[in-house]
Structure 1
Amino acid sequence: MAVQQVRGVIAPGKDQPVEVRTVLVPDPGPGEAVVKVQACGVCHTDLHYKQGGISDDYPFLLGHEAAGVVESVGEGVTDVAPGDFVVLNWRAVCGQCRACLRGRPWYCFDTHNAQQRMTLEDGTELSPALGIGAFAEKTLVASGQCTKVDPAVAPEVAGLLGCGVMAGIGAAINTGNVGRGDSVAVIGCGGVGDAAVMGSRLAGAAKIIAVDIDQRKLDTAVKLGATHTVNSRETDPVEAIRELTGGFGADVVIEAVGRPETYKQAFYARDLAGTVVLVGVPTPEMRLDLPLLDVFGRGGSLKSSWYGDCLPSRDFPMLVDLHLQGRLDLGAFVTETIALDEVEQAFDRMHQGDVLRSVVVF
């Protein structure tokens, strides 16, 4: 079987600087596709991989928020063809598990990736981030990880739907069921939180309260649709959210940080029978302590949102269309475009809160 040599960004070991190395990409096997990557966002999840926060299956081929063009497909692939412009996703639904068969494919319990592994030149197998590995000129994925969208959209914008932006918009629309006239609070205004603000606006929320400790992030949230802001470094966010909602709390509170402290704030900042959505990713050692009587007495629902409960085949094309119609400004998330060998510096800027998204453009 033929292989192609491409350049890719590798995380060689825990907390080590990333390296640009030669990656060998095999021809696609049954159910697989090779995609020529055009753009890939630098997501916090890539930093988690680099730091060892997800697994110790080094070396990792980083990058997963990507868009590009299908170059070749393996045997039996009918959903995409060479030349298709696609957004990559890390939840290729199986169609066969109990969730899929019950008509809830966004909960698919058996999502899949490419069977073959990409390697370094010495044969070392690479672990692709979220089963994608798109900080590379080309990558091998399962064909179900490719979602066709309108090729009129810019790749650096489309790729962001592959992870963070979809997670945030979906947390509001799919998981939180934000509706017309609702009040929404979003705690944590990074890329995912800001996308939740944008999703709430799209859904017709009347009041969207952005909460963060960084004034720059709050200013950005206002540009994306927040009607009110709370700097939780200076103000108790629970009291502030209640004050802004007639003393009751918000109908939906979206926690986009992933910490017990901010989750408790979300829990107490919602109205009776309101909804809490956890879309921020916690670390394994975190624990939550809540009075069970409060969980019972306040009613409503406590939900987790995995990838915004999205169904890529349904949601990606719709959001791209809304963007092309000028109704969803996905371009607002792109702070800068960078080259492949600037990923390490992009992690530094992310760490300092200087960017919403850096996007590698090929």
Structure 2
Amino acid sequence: MSFQITVQPSGHQFSCDEDETVLAAAIRAGVGLPYGCKNGACSSCKGKVLEGSVSHKAHQRRALSEEEEAAGQSLFCCAVPHSDLVLEVREVAGSSDFPIKKMPTRVTTLEKLAPDVIVMTLQLPANETLQYRAGQYVEFMLRDGKRRSYSIANAPESGGPLTLHIRHMPGGLFTDQVFTTMKERDILRFEGPLGTFFVRDDSDKPMILLASGTGFAPIKAIVEHERAKDTKREMVLYWGGRRPQDLYMDTLCRQWADEIPNFKYVPVVSDALEDEHWSGRRGYVHSAVMEDVPDMSGYQVYACGAPIVVESAKRDFVQQCKLPEDEFYADAFTSQADLLKP
């Protein structure tokens, strides 16, 4: 059995099987519902069910509270329909412009830039190309149907191999392999491009780019893309880490600040040791943004990194700094450990 799904205000329609999530059906039909993690942790795909009923697979209550669910809110990545549905959600223009492909790829380089960060370079098959938007990600297809997601860290205009920034999660199914047994010329398989984290080109508002740790990867792609198209929009990048070594491409960011007229860079470190002689900003990265921009009513924010950073930034920017809620765009890097947290 399948159900008819109607999206308002666009009026787009698609069918959804009874055991399929609304988001999976939308992606299959090329309908641009917003989404990020696809596993019920980040709330990027949240919308309202105006008509019909759904049930939710396992998800994090911080992404959809019981009160929100009772009020008709839904996480479409976890929502399974029990009837025809009418949804209210703002679609993302351009999210389905490029085909989602499954393909093999060869590891060409593994470069360690920090004790727990490796930059992986991937070569696509000679007869294949991957069209994507700066900020999107790919999913590696692993054993037993498991998947792991990583943002593409170079802009589409680079025209070369794909680069990914991979942080070691001790005990992690994939990252343990990357940091121990994986070697150059190994073959992997991935699916992509995925996600709706990319710059909305219909705006000329200044952009606050907020990154924590390897959340810098899609932000790097966005900066390179905006530079390639000679954007006139102002960009300020706040990159946070616990220690100075976590800002593993700090030199590149400082180079951007020297070379790109409308770009500023603010590194922030929360737990620098005395012998590291850190002279820059200290504390939480999203707090630094609030100190510098107390009124965000005329801004867009693009945030990527640990869920706690993304969630804190959205809450505080909207509640305390007048940021319009629909001008906060995010990609929370949810690990398997994050998914096990209540």
Shared topology, TM-score over 0.5?
A: no
For normalisation by structure 2, the TM-score amounts to 0.36
Structure with the larger helix share: 1
Between Structure 1 and Structure 2, the one with more strand by share is 2
Structure ranking higher on relative contact order (CA contacts 8 Å, 6+ apart): 1
TM-score (norm 1): 0.34
